Amino acid sequence: MSRALVAVGLSHHTAPVDVREKLAPQPGAVLGLLTELQDLGIGREAVLLSTCNRVELYAVPGPGHDAEAVARWLAERHGLSARRTLPYLYQHRDDAAIRHLFRVTSSLDSMVLGEPQIVGQVRDAYKLAREHRATGPVMHRIMDHALLVAKRVRSETRIALETVSIGRAGVELARQVLGGLEGRAALLIGAGEHGRVVARSLLDYGLTELAVANRTFSRGAEVAREFGAAAVPLDEAGRYLERVDIVLTSTSAGRILLDRAQLSQVSRRRRFRSLVLIDLAVPRNIDPAIDQVDGCYRFDIDDLRQVAETGKAARLEAARDAERIVDEEAERAWQWLANAELNASIGAMARHAEQIRRDELARAAAVLEQLDPDARARVEAMTKAIVKKILHAPIRTARTLAADGDRHGLDVLVGALGPGDAAPASEPPPEGAHDDDPRLDADGEDGAA
Amino acid sequence: MDRALLLVALACYLAPLLSRDDGRLRVLAARWWVPAGILLHVQGLALAFILDSVPLRSMTEGLGLTALTVMLAREWFGRRPRMGLLRRILLALASVLLGLAAVAPSPEGAGAPPSIFFLLHIGLVLTGFAAFALTFSMSALFLVVRRRLKSKDLSEIGRLPSLDTLDVLVIRTMAFGFACLTAGIAGGLALGLITEGKPPALDFTTIVTTLLWLWYAAGLVARVAAGWRGRLVAVFGVGGFVAFMVVAGVGLALSGWHGMGA
């Protein structure tokens, strides 16, 4: 009996980028890989997840194959030496594979803990495999479950809410003062890297209008074009202070550009309407004494870093809750998969026995035809009862072995009584095959032969 | 009996305030005890109304109703995101009001049967007080958030309501309270003219209520005409309500509503 599910791959945790890039499939090559995996019988179902930080293959292995075989194929398929590549590849089996998938989808294994892109990447990988019939009942169930777990983690923990980047920290500080950014306007003074990062984040989070002022107008115009914003001459920036809601400074002027006296006047003219000032320059461009001005809220690069660091710590805290959810859901998914696998094994044994019964009846057909219909029916019922009685104890043993997690014992049992290879886990056992089937008790244990 | 119910309700309100931040008691209290407290609060007030010959005549009923309005507003505003701290402030405020209600002196003797004007007058004035209590809470929270931002205490960023949201809520609750108080005072005047043929005499309650009305009228005018906003309005909201609570608390404890106290 093969493993129910394996996860084979590498990520930023286990392999340097030069190894990762060698194993990353070319765009459009994923389908070919999945088809080949199935054609070779190494995997019955498969989903290939490829992002900039990981390449992972989730598969239901074919008969006689396991995670090692999948890992070897993956390496060799990319022209790599299995011996050299295998140390970089992790291999998870069964419940560990499920847990790994759930952790990856919930962004607990990501470089930036809690980042939202991974859910979409898993969904896309699954969709691609499903559309091209590379998935089956096991993968459908597990992938759907993984996406639900990710949703649960995001809704029940703060893992995705905490701020961890400078850009997002700027957004959060602005939102803490202004509420939403929709309908708000900002002025970016200078074209420094940090200023552009925060401006981009503000626009991503709904900022409606942006103006860019720079000492060199042509450079300002270039940055403005990048954001679809308006460029203004630096000496006219003062006029904008009265109408914008956010001011970002990111110049290399090396001196104070906005001082307390200037902002006091501006604040009065604004009737103390809130003005967020984010100073991303070092040396600073905004006078710290502006903190004393009503209606003005000044933050510098250290404040943004403080927010990002606090967010990282909070995400780690939230990750503990998320791990608990993942463990809980992985256990549930594994129970389902283990039961499905057990049922498939029982089904294989029952089908095999039923086939033997039919073959023997067919062999005796000439004799049976001489019997009257009533006698033939009694022989039919008797043989069915014999099969059920014979299977009763092995099925009970199989359930005990499965409950004890004794996979080897289960493999031996199914190998001894089954057709050789277990049927796919999804394939339901024939009616009456289960030892908890009431008909088995009635006919098999106590019923008439 | 009514006071006993109010005291039990008060205990339910205090439980989440006094328990540890991450304690299990706090989670239980927030989920079960506060709703149970609101239920007991309503029952206690209903009983007080039934036992009193003139509903809303006593300070217990007046303050109790104001506290209940604050609690209901807490449930309403608390549904918004990032309002956890506001919920706590409103819970603390309602607890103070309910505590005062539970220990306030009872009026003596039987009063005249209540008219619809009387109930309208008292109901509107109390709703106005409750709205100003909300103004106070929002204003206090505005000042807390502002102070944190100005002092670079950024650990709670993203968990607190934004300053502009609070500013809008302060003005809205202030305007609502002012409208209720205006209508309540007008109702009181009408009541006096109808029942006694003359405006009510200037007693302690009348003077305090009128001063409160003038205070908030000034606040609204300053906002509309002079463009006051942010810290100025918040300080105004906090200052007015604190002064009102001190003056009214002492005065009303001595004389009761319109001299109907101890």
Nearest chain B alpha carbon to A300: B152
**Do A178 and B164 make contact, defined as CB atoms within 8 angstroms?**
yes
Residue A67 phi, psi (nearest 5): -60, -40
| A109-113, B42-46, B112-116, B183-187: range with lowest mean pLDDT | B112-116
Out of B152, B163, B226, the one facing A274 most closely (by C-beta) is B163
Q: How far is CA A37 from CA A34, A58, A61, A135, in A?
A: 5, 11, 9, 12
In chain A, the number of structural domains is 3
Within a 13 Å sphere around the CA of B234, how many CA atoms are in the beta-carbon half? 23
pLDDT at B258 > cutoff 80 = no
Report CB contact under 8 Å: A177, B231: no
How many Å apart are CA A152 and CA A173, to the nearest integer?
Answer: 27
CA nearest to A114, candidates A75, A68, A77, A168: A168
Of these ranges, A100-104, A136-140, B208-212, the one predicted with the greatest mean pLDDT is A100-104
Q: How far apart are CA A188 and CA B199, in angstroms?
A: 62
B149, B154, B156, B157: CA torsion to nearest 10: 80
What angle do the packed helices A94-105 and A137-156 form, to 10 degrees? 50
Q: Do A27 and A124 contact (CB within 8 A), yes or no?
A: no
Q: A152 with A178, same domain?
A: no
- Look at residue A322 and tell me if it is in a domain: no
CATH code of the domain containing A187: 3.40.50.720
The pLDDT tens digits of the residues spanning A8-35 come to 999 999 998 888 888 888 878 898 999 9
Q: Report the gap between the CA of B32 and the closest CA in chain A (Å).
A: 20
Size of interface A-B (CB pairs under 8 A): 62
Q: Which residues contact A380 (CB under 8 A, 6 or more apart)?
A: A361
Residue of A nearest to B160 (CA): A176
Q: Tens of pLDDT along A311-352?
A: 888 889 999 999 999 999 999 999 888 888 788 888 888 888
A391 plus A372 within the same structural domain: yes
Shared-domain flag, residues A147 and A186: no
| Out of A177, A294, A310, closest to residue B149 by CB | A177
What is the pTM (predicted TM-score) of this model? 0.68
Token pair, residue A102, equals: 């759930």
Q: In the beta sheet, which residues pair with residue A213? A: A189, A232
Angstrom CA distances, B199 to A233, B164, B187, B189, stand at 66, 42, 11, 5
Written as six digits, the tokens of A156 are 């029940």
Question: A381: Cβ–Cβ under 8 A, 6 or more apart, which residues?
Answer: A443, A448, A449
Inspect the interface and report whether the beta carbons of A272 and B228 lie closer than 8 Å. yes
According to the model, what pLDDT value does residue B248 have? Answer: 72
The per-residue pLDDT for B144 is: 93
Can you tell me the distance from the alpha carbon of B260 to that of B255, in angstroms, rounded to the nearest whole number? 6
Which structural domain, as residue segments, surrounds residue A406? 341-445
CA A414 to chain centre: 34
Question: Tens digit of pLDDT for each residue in A398-435?
Answer: 888 887 777 778 778 877 777 655 444 344 344 444 44
Catalytic residues of A: 52
Alpha-carbon distance A169 to A335, whole Å?
Answer: 42
Are B154 and A161 inside 8 Å of each other by CB?
Answer: no
In a domain, A300, yes or no: no
Q: What is the edge-to-edge ordering of all strands in the sheet holding A185-189?
A: A230-233, A209-214, A185-189, A246-249, A275-279, A296-300
Rounded distance, CA A285 to CA B119, Å? 61
Position B257 pLDDT exceeds 90: no
Distance CA A337, CA A11 (A): 26
B174–chain A nearest CA distance, Å = 19
Instruction: Please state the φ and ψ torsions of residue A108, each to the nearest 5 degrees.
Output: -85, -10
Q: Is A209 helix (H, G, I), strand (E, B) or coil?
A: strand
How many of the other CB atoms lie within 10 Å of CB of A46?
25
User: What CA–CA distance (Å, rounded) separates A319 from A106?
Assistant: 10
- B68: which 2 tokens? 């209940």
CATH number at residue A67: 3.30.460.30
CB B158 to CB A177 under 8 A? no
Residue A287 lies in a domain: yes
Do residue A202 and residue A106 come from a single domain?
A: no
* Residue with more model confidence, B26 or B87: B87
A316 is a domain residue: no
Distance CA B163, CA B82 (A): 12
Residue A313 within any structural domain of the chain: no
User: Can you give the pLDDT at residue B193?
Assistant: 85
Say whether both A150 and A176 belong to one domain: no
d(CA B76, CA B87): 10
The pLDDT tens digits of the residues spanning A78-93 come to: 888 888 899 999 999 9
Q: Is residue A308 part of a domain?
A: no
Q: Which pair of tokens denotes residue A325?
A: 């959810």
* Both tokens assigned to A83: 């011996």
Q: Where are chain B's structural domains?
A: 52-259
Q: What are phi and psi of A248, to 5 degrees?
A: -110, 130
Q: Is A176's CB within 8 Å of B145's CB?
A: yes
Q: Are A163 and B232 in contact (CB < 8 Å)? A: no
**Contact residues, chain B, for A291 at CB < 8 Å:** 150
B116 pLDDT above the threshold of 60? yes
| Run of H or E including A167 | helix A166-178
d(CA A381, CA A154): 56
Is the distance from CB of B10 to CB of B67 less than 8 angstroms?
no
For residue B185, what are the CA distances in angstroms to B6, B64, B74, B188?
28, 20, 26, 5
**A98 and A221 both lie in a single domain:** no
Is the pLDDT score of B140 beyond 60?
yes
Count how many Cα atoms sit within 13 Å of the Cα of residue A262 in the half-sphere of its side chain: 13
Structural domain includes residue A328: no
Which residues of chain A approach chain B closer than 8 Å at the C-beta? 161-163, 172-173, 175-179, 271-274, 291, 294-295, 297, 299, 303, 306-307, 310
User: Percent of chain B having pLDDT more than 90?
Assistant: 26
Q: Above 50 in pLDDT, residue B28?
A: yes
What does DSSP assign to residue B52?
S
Which of A108, A131, A156 terminates a domain? The answer is A156
**A182 bridge partner residues:** A207
Interface test with chain B among A176, A178, A309, by most B beta carbons within 10 Å: A176
Report pLDDT for A449: 27
Q: What pLDDT, on the 0 to 100 scale, is given for residue A174? A: 96
Same domain, A173 and A204: yes
> How confident is the model at residue A428, as a pLDDT?
39
Same domain, A256 and A348: no
Residues A123 and A26 in one domain: yes
Of the pLDDT bands very low, low, confident and very high (cuts 50, 70, 90), residue B19 is confident
Chain A nearest CA to B72, separation (Å): 24
User: Greatest CA separation found in chain B?
Assistant: 61
pLDDT band at B111 (very low <50, low <70, confident <90, very high): low
Res A424: pLDDT: 42
d(CA A285, CA A274): 19
